[in-house]
Chains A and B, each alone.
Chain A
Amino acid sequence: MKLKIVVVLTMLFMGVWAMASAQESLETIAAPDSIQAAPLPEPAKELSAKDAPDDHGHAIDVTWAKSPDDGERLKNVIGYIVYRAANPDGPFEARSGLLLGTTSYTDAGALNEGENDFMPDYQDYYYRVRAMTQDSTVFADSDIFGPVQSYGQWYDKGKTAVLLLVAGFLFLTIFFISKARGGAELYVRRLAGIEAVDEAIGRATEMGKPILYVLGLGTAADIATIASYTILGRVAKKVAEYQTGLIVPCYDPIVMTVAQETVRTAYLDAGRPDAFNQDMVYFVTNQQFAYVAGVNGVMLRERPATNLYMGKFYAESLILAETGVVAGSIQISGTDEISQIPFFVVACDYTLIGEELYAASAYLGKEPLLLGSLKAQDYAKAGVIILAVIGFISLMLGYHDFVDFFHVTG
């Protein structure tokens, strides 16, 4: 009997001991020191959301103030996650990853229905920001902010400076055009490269060799190509008058079509429509170096007396111009590609630098309308210099608003 009582007591003792041990281990597992020591952080404050400004819609800017435990006090907040819901009761879905070192986020969705993550405009959205700690289970949610809607704007305030400058320039252009029409003498400085064109065409005529005109690698929409058409028209007219040959290999089929029309009209103006041959303006290829190979082949076979490179050029500029040197041609170039200007300067006899290419049409024509716009350009440049000096002085004095006004966004 005694033995039974001892066994039962021993088992009870062992049972209690085992339960106590198990309880202790459960507590250890459920609440290790690290978690017990991780207090909840304070949530982010002053949550605010509004439609993203000056955009196409479908985006909302969310801002908040840092949690007091972010970098101070408990120092346990490592970042924030932005959540969004269509109702204040949820469900909320994460719209951002873990945002480090920032207190703003632009929640942008897709523009079109049917796309992934489409975010319709004019719909109520509610936001919440979660302050995260190292432990992903320990965090604090901010108050909910909403409703807020996204919508597109009809004017981009970030481009006001551009609008004012374009309007000012348009006014200057119209003013000087009307002045030129009124008979005012407008001085245009000498452009050696353009004055050399006549001489170069004369040389080609004397030598009985053709003139090669390269419009570059630009498309018909490039301003440099448009300026080049004007020069091509003048050159073609002279060529027609002198009955010299003209070769215009083109890189772009649209450029070729426009160039054909330009040359045809120039021959018509010169009273030599019969001399015009559509094949003098032809398409080569729209592969950059294949085009170079084609044009270089023409230079070395035909040995043109004069090569004119006017338009947009890239890495092929020097290959073309150096081959022209080998062929012994007079070379005149003009481009607005700043990195190619040095190559043309060293390899060509005359070079139109940057804006001189655009000025060439006014210089050649001497028409009041074109000269007026050229004069407006000069005054605009003076205006830019004055603005640059004012900006420099205002920055030196610590006023940033003036310079910031010209910062174009969007």
Chain B
Amino acid sequence: MKRQLPLMLVFVFGFAMIIQYFIPHQASEWVNAFFMDWMMIIGVFALALGIWSLTKVSWDKVKYKKSNWQYAIVTLAGLFLMIFFGFDYFRHFSTPVGSNNYMYVKFYQHIVIPIQSTMFSLLAFFIASAAYRAFRARSLLATLLLIAALVIMLRFNPLLGPLQPIMEDFSVWLLNVPNLAAKRAIVIGVGLGMVATALKVILGIERAYLGKD
């Protein structure tokens, strides 16, 4: 029963949501919105589990002085400080609470956002290093990739003079014909794969999400 009940629920609600997709009536939209609300409620409970997990893992690192345990202190301090600022009305009734709290906003704007921007900006350097590895002409295919990349990169280069319009036309052709054809092939495959996986889940063939493959 422990396994049969979840499978039955997935089957019933899976097919219900498939049928809902084909019914535009307001009642059908209400059902959809109702289940979406459930997802949000479950998400809130799961978030509590997530916070517990992060706290436990970090606390264990500090407690048992595992390698680099000092970082765990920063994690815990950040986590609980932000929660504290969110509930600051316990002490300052006049201060806006939640995400409008003064300290919460300051920490978010001056610590979280700059750190996230820094992480994102690393992408530029990683693109360069990845491109260096990818564009080494070790084989015929790699050489073709190198040539295609050069054409795409040089298409906006004004130093090419009269060659620039030709390069631009060629790069547009590369993007719109072979590149788009390959992309569409992958998209069709992904679409069918998604439908197949969804059907496998609904029919109870795919059960890994239940903790059993």
Contacts and interface: CB of A to CB of B under 8 A. Distances in A.
A381 B68 contact: no
A380 B189 CA distance: 9
A261 B23 contact: no
Nearest to A158: B24
B204 to A, nearest CB: 9
A319 B126 contact: yes
Contacts of B23: 153-156
B209 A262 contact: yes
B209 A155 contact: no
Interface stretch (B86-94, B97-105, B129-137, B150-158): B129-137
Given A226-B197, A279-B57, A319 B119 contact: yes
Interface residues of B, number: 67
A240 to B, nearest CB: 13
Contacts of A22: none
Interface string B48-80: 111101101100100000011001000000000
B159 interface: no
Interface in A236-272: 237, 250, 252-254, 256-258, 261-262, 264-266, 269
B191 to A, nearest CB: 9
Given A111-B26, A361-B213, A233 B196 contact: no
B22 A284 contact: no
B206 A315 contact: no
A410 B212 CA distance: 37
Contact of B26 (A56, A290, A359): A56
A162 B18 CA distance: 11
A318 interface: yes
B205 A177 contact: yes
A322 interface: yes
Given A159-B22, A283-B51, A338-B190, A346 B131 contact: yes
Contacts of A410: 24
Interface string A37-60: 000000000000000001111100
Contacts of B51: 253, 283
B122 to A, nearest CB: 6
The secondary-structure label for the interface of chain B is helix
Given A283-B54, A315-B123, A354-B193, A288 B116 contact: yes
Nearest to B18: A166
Given A226-B208, A230-B206, A318-B130, A373 B116 contact: no
A370 interface: yes
Interface in A334-383: 336, 338, 341, 343, 345-347, 353-355, 357-359, 361, 364-365, 369-370, 373-374, 376-377, 380-381
A384 B209 CA distance: 30
A54 B24 contact: yes
Contact of B183 (A152, A232, A283, A338): A338
B115 interface: yes
A144 interface: no
The secondary-structure label for the interface of chain A is helix
B196 A253 contact: no
Contacts of B50: 250, 252-253, 256, 283, 286
21 contacts: A54-B24, A152-B24, A159-B21, A170-B199, A223-B197, A226-B206, A226-B209, A257-B49, A258-B209, A279-B53, A279-B57, A283-B54, A290-B115, A297-B71, A301-B67, A346-B134, A353-B186, A355-B190, A370-B200, A373-B199, A410-B24
Interface of B: 18, 21-29, 39, 42-43, 46-51, 53-54, 56-57, 60, 67-68, 71, 112, 115-117, 119-120, 122-123, 126-127, 129-131, 133-134, 183, 186-190, 192-201, 203, 205-206, 208-213
Interface of A: 54-58, 111, 152-156, 159, 162-163, 166, 169-170, 173, 177, 220-221, 223, 226-227, 229-230, 232-234, 237, 250, 252-254, 256-258, 261-262, 264-266, 269, 279, 282-290, 292-293, 297, 301, 315, 318-319, 321-322, 325, 336, 338, 341, 343, 345-347, 353-355, 357-359, 361, 364-365, 369-370, 373-374, 376-377, 380-381, 384, 410
Given A57-B25, A166-B18, A353-B186, 19 more contacts: A56-B24, A56-B25, A111-B26, A152-B26, A159-B22, A220-B209, A229-B208, A234-B213, A252-B50, A253-B49, A254-B46, A258-B209, A282-B57, A293-B119, A318-B130, A319-B123, A336-B193, A347-B130, A355-B189
